[in-house]
Structures are given as structure tokens and as C-alpha cells.
Amino acid sequence: MVKVKSLERDKDLENVELPDEVEELIAACPKYIVAHNEQQLVDLSVRDAKNGCQEVKYDIPGRGEVVEAVVCKVRNGISANYPEPYMRRRDPNCMLIADEKATDKEKYENRFGEKFEDGMREETFDWLKNQELALFFFETGPKGLGVKALAVVPANAAFFAFGLSLLQGIVDTREREEVFKPTSHIYIAPPFRHTHFNGEQVVVHRRLDNKYEMFAYNLYPGPSAKKGVYGMLINQGEKEDWVTLHCSAVQVVTPYGNTVNISHEGASGGGKSEMLEDMHRERSGRLLFGKNLMTDEKFHITLPQGCGLRPMTDDMAICHNSLQKNNGKLTLMDAENSWFVRVDHINKYGTEPNLEAITANPDKPLLFLNIDAAPNSTALIWEHIEDEPNKPCPNPRVTIPRDIIPDVLKEPLSIDVRSFGVRVPPCTKENPTYGILGLFHVLPPALAWLWRLVAPRGHGNPSIITGDGMSSEGVGSYWPFATGKKVDQANLLLEQIMDTPKVKYILIPNQHIGAWKVGFMPEWITREYLARRGGAWFTENQLRPARMPLLGYSLQELLVEGQNIEREFLQVHRQAEVGEKAYDIGGKILSDFFKKCLRDYLEPGLHPVGRKIIETALNDGTIDDYSDLIEGEPIIREI
């Protein structure tokens, strides 16, 4: 690396030390812009708009111009849409590794038959040298805990840079006394998706001893601006022995002033953002808990006043060693500057009034993706574009700066309860599935670790492109974004659980409980119930071992504000539409899936306690077997 020499044409880089390849880019490109704030990127996103819209397009040999995105300025920010439905969600197979460090992920050379650095890296730089570029600087994670980074983006795709700057923040290096030396670098080259990668999303990670390079060959932010930077944090934590969890976190405040701090982990579509939402009410004020898919019966409950919510994080929580208080609990902070919120469940005005109000009239510009908005209109989060006629896009998004979120927490949060969310299908006698989870289950720490190792992606995932059936996102549900070895992340998660013995663990389904369509209501009811209990846990009369051991303990009863939740929602085999036989078939589906996934972790280097836990699962262990494997506070308290 060499420090940028004094450039007569641009003094914006005088306080920055850049790698040689970036020096060469800015020297060769026809023009470049250094952005110091988000507004510059907002303006650049629509600088060349015609009739209110800017087409982000590239000339593809043999095809002519291909439009990657259409961008327009709206009253509440920037709206971008992708003409191709495939580009509206993250492709889970987009990550490739292009280095010699240890990894379980697919390597670039294995997919394409050549080393990335033998040609593609230089070809990418050659293309960038012929583009007008936008550059900006940022830091991953909370200030001082992550790494310094640089993004290099074609100027006509500034909407992508705007989204990245919202998610990660933006550093005005002119205001820094010390020289800013980025060690992580992001390069964006959208047309390579067509010229080299058969139209597919590809993001290449290159981990070197002194720097981290990421090359994104598409303009959907999910795999790169969002999860690609997440991969950088995971890589840093792997070196320094800490984890960035894939979770939301919230402090829940009861009407009586009690507080409970809950984190909610899970695969994409597992309900992380929804844990931060107010309960969705009908016009009458009642809560529609669920609707029976066989009989159309509806079950309502009345909860006059919900708990107050003080959110910490929406999707990524850094658990840096310096944050820990050695109090037996897990302390975390938001790893992002903004939240990338999916709004597919908001399909009409009034569904989520708080979120609707924040996004309709924000204090600063937002980025809307897959939202049907005309130039100079107000983008409305319930107006989703259609993938095809009468089929709304399942992944509409809005990026919201956390500092405009009401009551957002700014200081580290110590977690009382770690929840794990699973998106499940309906289960009936006629069609037995793994949709056998009750309203929520209480897990011993060993089982909580197993669920994070498997991290089922589950039913009807709206966030990514996937096939039917059950699949696994793996360790902690953040494995799709990690670049190293599974066993290393499994060990980090296990040690984290063992080091925080005062944390409680629960498992919550969404979408269905047996034959009932419930959406995300189980999360909201569980949140309200646990908060009202305060720090009290459960007695022997309140819990019983679940019929399926991997589900830990089932509740015997649940009473919240005088409202009794029927036992068939707590123990699914009691539903007339399910019964014990269908439940047991679903249990075997779940057990077989766990065994298939867990065998991948039985490698040299796995923590001895972890090996015992996995062997217990492979041998169909009981709840008592799991409870004996990790020390912690008792799940069932004596009175």
C-alpha cells in the first residue's frame, strides 16, 4: 500500500491510505466521486434520471443494453426495482471463496475451473477503470469494534452505494485526525453477471493476511452490502473469538414497569424483524391468534395493552469480547447502522401503524426495494411490485436508519432469554409434516445449541430463492454468510452458551401450529407472556417433556392477562386434526433431518462437549440426557 499523493484534482483523499489497485483505478477511470455523506449518494442515484426514472443499464456484448434496475426519487427517499424477478431475492448459492485459507464453502476455482486471481480479478479492475466511479469509506460494526472499509461502485449504480452507506454508515475522512487506512474493500461490477456468470448472483470473498476483498457481481444488496459485510464481521470474530449473531434483540417493558431482554435468532424468514413489531390487531382491537385451515374456525384473544418495546437490533448483533460483563448473561450491540426490513406481511394500510408512519414520513431518506412507487410519490410499504400478474414479490424491503426508530437502545444490552424462530408448514393427519411445534418450547442449553447448528430454513421462505422442503442454514443461522469452517463457528457458539449460564432458551414457530395458520402471533404472545412473568421461570406443574425430545419442554398451560391459550396450541398432538400418529411422523421427519445435518459437525477439532451433545441426538437422547450436558440454572424451579 502507498499513501495517496496530493492530487491536484481532488483533495478528498488526502487523509486516506489506499491499496495500490485502488490508486490505479482512480488514476485510470474517466471520473470518480468521493461521497462523504448519504445525501451525496441520494443525489447521484438519480442524477441522470429521465422522466423521473434512472435506468441502471450496461452494454452486454451480443445482447445490447441490459437494464439491471430502475431507480426513482420519491418523497421519502429512493425507490429501486429490478426488472428481473430473480434479482429481487438473495440467491443462497452466491458466495464463493477465492483464497487458500480454511473453508467449507465452495471455492471459485471449483465452480469455474480457474483461480479467481488468474484472470477474473484483473478483468474486474480493467472494467472498473473504464467507468465513472463512486467511492466512500465506512467501518463495519459499531465504531471501534469492526474494521475500516472502502466501497468502489459504478456511479450509475449509486442507489446500491446509498443502501450500503445506510446499512454500514459512512465516514467523512476529512474530519479524521488520523489517516484512514481501509483493510476491507468492496468492488461492484454488475454486468459480469451476464458476461461471465450465466445471469446468476455471484459474490467472491478473498481473505488475505493484511486485507479482505469482496467482489459483488450483482446489484441486489442482500448478498453483498448486507450479508457480505456480515461475512467480514464473522471472519474478524473467528480470529478474535467472538460471534456476530443473526438475531433481533429488544427490551420488553410491561405495563407494570418490569423489563425482560429477548434476542430472537433464526434462519431467513424466522421472524427476527417481527419480534420488534407491535402485535397486529383487528379493527375491533382483538388479536386473531389463528385460523384453522380445516374448519375455518378462528381463535381470538383480547389483550388490552401490549408491552412497550425498546429495540436494540433487527438482524445482526455483535457480541464482542469487550462488551461482556461477566454476569452470566450475553451482552450485545447492533452491528448495523440501519435495518433492512422485509415488509411482505404488510399488505394494506393500518397493518403496522408504527412502521408505516416511520417509512411514510421519515426524518431522512430511506431506500425502498421491490416497492411499486412512481417518481415524486410517497413510497408506501404495502404497495409491493408483482413478480407476475397477481403474484406479489415476496421480498419487498425498506432500509431504515436505526436512529429514527422510536425508543431504540444505544447502549449494550444483556440478554435474559434467547429465542430461536422456525418457519413451519401446517401439519394434519392427511399431510404430516414437521409443523408440530407448540406456541413455544423451553430448551435446555444443549438443545438450544443443536437448534442453532441445524437452523432449519423452513417453510415458504420469502427472503431467498429456494426449493420446496426443509433445508438448513446451519451454525447459528448465519452460516450462509460465513467464509470459514463450520466446526469453528459451532465451537464459538457452544463456548458462548457455556459462558452465559444465566441465559434462558426457548423455541418459537411461526406461520403454523399444527392445522392452524398463525403468522407471527406466537412470537408476540410469547413475548408478552414472558415479559409479564418478569424473571420468574417455570415450575414442574407448568412444563412437561415434549413428546418429541428435540422440542425440549412443552407448556401445560398458558394464561396471559386472564386469557387462556388452549392446550392444543401448546401440545400439537392434542389437535383433533393432527393426533399422535401424525405428530410422531412429523417428529421423525424432524429427527431424521437433524441427524443428517449434525453428522457434518463430527470433525476433528469439535469441542468435546459438542461431540457428546451431537452423539446424544444421533442416539435419540431424552430431555434428561440433554439437560445433563451443559451446566446452567435449572429450567424447572422449585417452589
Helices (H) and strands (E) in the chain, counts: 14, 33
Q: Is residue 56 a contact partner of residue 70, using CB atoms and an 8 Å limit?
A: yes
Sign for the pseudo-dihedral over CA of 316, 322, 325, 328: positive
* CA separation for the pair 292, 572 (Å, rounded): 13
Q: Is residue 382 a contact partner of residue 346, using CB atoms and an 8 Å limit?
A: yes
Cβ contacts of residue 592 below 8 Å, gap of 6+? none
Q: Looking at this protein, which amino acid is placed at residue 497?
A: I
461: exposed, middle or buried (Cβ count in 10 Å: 0-12, 13-18, 19+): buried
In the numeric block, which cell numbers belong to residue 84?
A: 428481473
Q: Looking at this protein, which amino acid is placed at residue 496?
A: Q
* CA separation for the pair 529, 593 (Å, rounded): 31
Q: For position 463, what pLDDT does the model report?
A: 53
Q: Which CATH architecture is the domain 244-344+407-627 placed in? A: Alpha-Beta Complex (3.90)
Q: Is residue 246 a contact partner of residue 478, using CB atoms and an 8 Å limit?
A: yes
Domain residue extents for the chain: 2-54+92-240, 244-344+407-627
Q: Is residue 453 a contact partner of residue 601, using CB atoms and an 8 Å limit?
A: yes
* CA separation for the pair 230, 481 (Å, rounded): 7
Cβ contacts of residue 182 below 8 Å, gap of 6+? 16, 18, 137, 147, 148, 149, 150
In the numeric block, which cell numbers belong to residue 604?
A: 476433528
* CA separation for the pair 413, 455 (Å, rounded): 24
* CA separation for the pair 428, 332 (Å, rounded): 40
SS3 486: helix
In the numeric block, which cell numbers belong to residue 533?
A: 412473568
Q: For position 9, what pLDDT does the model report?
A: 41
**With left for phi above 0 and alpha for psi between -120 and 50, is residue 93 left, alpha or beta?**
alpha
* CA separation for the pair 179, 17 (Å, rounded): 7
Sign for the pseudo-dihedral over CA of 141, 144, 147, 148: positive
**With left for phi above 0 and alpha for psi between -120 and 50, is residue 523 left, alpha or beta?**
alpha
* Helix pair angle (445-454, 608-618), 10° resolution: 80
Q: For position 460, what pLDDT does the model report?
A: 65
Class of domain 2-54+92-240: alpha beta
Q: Is residue 67 a contact partner of residue 82, using CB atoms and an 8 Å limit?
A: no
Residue written as cell 488514476? Answer: 27
| Regions of the chain short of the pLDDT cut 70 | 1-10, 458-469, 638-639
Q: Tell me, yes or no, if the pTM score tops 0.85.
A: yes
Q: For position 3, what pLDDT does the model report?
A: 41
In the numeric block, which cell numbers belong to residue 445?
A: 442449553
Measure Cα distances from 614 to 339, 436, 442, 459, 625 in Å.
35, 22, 19, 25, 11
- The 8-class DSSP code of residue 280 comes to P
Residue written as cell 459474490? Answer: 203
* Helix pair angle (158-168, 227-240), 10° resolution: 40
Q: Is residue 55 a contact partner of residue 49, using CB atoms and an 8 Å limit?
A: no
Measure Cα distances from 210 to 19, 129, 187, 424, 488 in Å.
11, 24, 17, 43, 21
